[in-house]
Chains A and B, each alone.
Chain A
Amino acid sequence: MATISMVVNGRQMSGEAEGRTLLSSFLRDALGLTGTHVGCDTGQCGACVVHVNGDAVKSCNMLAMEADGAEVATIEGQAAPDGTLNAIQAAFQEYHGLQCGFCTPGMVMSAAALLKEIPKPSEAEIRKYLSGNLCRCTGYHNIVRAIMAASGQDVAVAAE
């Protein structure tokens, strides 16, 4: 066991980790930030996506020790301190981009990374970018609509 620390959502935080402790487990169990979900635990589903030093990563596929000293952003830091949802979260609510909500933290964090890279993505770019985020409920259309809306674009999407 060793003590590691990172800046999570702007706050310096530390906790105990073993060599094998995953970043997802560290965030959830050591820091109590259970908004980051663990769906598959095999790097496939994207429910656990967080940002490390600005890049989207699957936190179940990264050791906590690798994030020692890093800046980490999780879903808990997306809304304003008073609880006001950010544009992506508000659009997910408005356009029914979630049903059970299990995939949503990862979807929102991936969408945030996408909009930083491509501020006005096309529908195809959104679908491609989210290829590592699985949703078992929505059928994706409303997620794509929400991201179109969050980026200030017309929400009409082709029903493939």
Chain B
Amino acid sequence: MYAFDFERPSTVADAVAALSAEDAQALSGGQTLIPTLKQRLASPSKLVSLGGIAELQGITSDGDAVTIGAGTTHAAVAADGSIPALSALAGNIGDPAVRNRGTIGGSLANNDPAACYPSAALGLGATIVTNAREIVADDFFQGLFTTALDEGEIITAVRFPKPQAANYQKFEQPASRFALVGVFVAKGADGVRVAVTGASEDGVFRWSEAEAALGSNFSAGALDGMAPPADGMISDLHGSAAYRANLVGVMTRRAVAAAG
């Protein structure tokens, strides 16, 4: 790791001010950023820890929505249960020690193409709240490791509408346990949403053909024989593009069946 300064503010306002320094970067759980720094793939002048900011912590459930502070750990979301499919997803990220540090804000800001949370945010139609504005999930994810966040902008919370039914199915890449393909299916007031992670070269995406088919008939049978085109799917030693495309169909059917 290259050397950097370290700051641990206790309010969002102070964190935003600290992040205005040239090449400053936010540190949340560090489960992605610290390995990146070790590989010298990033060389921030200063890390601004969000770990001491009380207003970024916690989960509130009111009527139709659940709001989760950006600094809330995967373990805390797993233990919550306000949206069972979301808690189940969080409880299957990495391993217990990773879940005790890693946070929802860090995962969404990072937008790893094989990460689990982006599919939940997109599948549930979440709103990403930052220190400056609110961004709907459909506008937030902009390709591999790319989001709508501006330089120095931090996620403060994520607001999820409560679904009528939802489920996440993850086919684990056996070595990393990230998603080789993960599918989040949600049925809500505005219809059915199907968000796919792990598969596309452009990162998380909505599978609109499946959404249309499920909109009129919410059952695994409605997707018989369906799979998205293999074109644009990731192809690597863990699976070819065609394999991943087929897996998207399989995991979506499993998610619909489990969502009931």
Contact = CB atoms under 8 A, between A and B. Distances in A.
A129 B94 CA distance: 10
B100 A61 contact: no
B115 to A, nearest CB: 15
B96 A132 contact: yes
Interface residues of B, number: 26
B196 interface: no
B98 interface: yes
A10 interface: no
Given A20-B3, A49-B97, A110-B97, A61 B47 contact: no
Interface string B220-237: 000000000000000000
Interface stretch (B28-36, B119-127, B200-208, B210-218): B28-36
Interface in A95-136: 110, 113-114, 129-133
B71 interface: no
Contacts of B30: 61-63, 66
Contacts of A58: 97-98, 101
Contacts of B95: 46, 129-133
Contacts of A63: 6, 27, 30, 34, 47, 49
Interface residues of A, number: 27
Contacts of A114: 96
Given A43-B31, A65-B49, A55 B3 contact: no
Given A19-B5, A20-B1, A132-B94, A55 B100 contact: yes
Contacts of B31: 43, 61
Contacts, number: 72
A20 B2 CA distance: 8
A31 B31 CA distance: 24
A133 B98 CA distance: 11
A19 B35 contact: no
A42 B1 contact: no
Interface in A38-56: 41-43, 46, 49, 55-56
B75 interface: yes
B51 A55 contact: no
A94 interface: no
B97 A56 contact: yes
Contact of A129 (B2, B5, B75, B96): B96
Contacts of B2: 20
A131 B95 CA distance: 6
Interface in B1-40: 1-6, 8, 27, 30-31, 34-35, 37-38
A49 B99 CA distance: 13
A132 B92 CA distance: 12
A57 interface: yes
A43 B177 CA distance: 13
Given A19-B4, A61-B101, A43 B96 contact: no
19 contacts: A20-B1, A43-B31, A46-B95, A55-B75, A55-B100, A56-B96, A57-B97, A57-B101, A58-B97, A61-B35, A61-B97, A62-B101, A63-B30, A63-B47, A63-B49, A66-B30, A66-B49, A66-B51, A114-B96
Interface of A: 18-20, 22, 41-43, 46, 49, 55-58, 61-63, 65-66, 68, 110, 113-114, 129-133
Given A68-B8, A132-B97, A133-B95, 14 more contacts: A20-B1, A20-B4, A20-B37, A41-B38, A43-B98, A58-B97, A58-B101, A61-B97, A62-B101, A63-B34, A65-B49, A66-B8, A110-B97, A129-B95
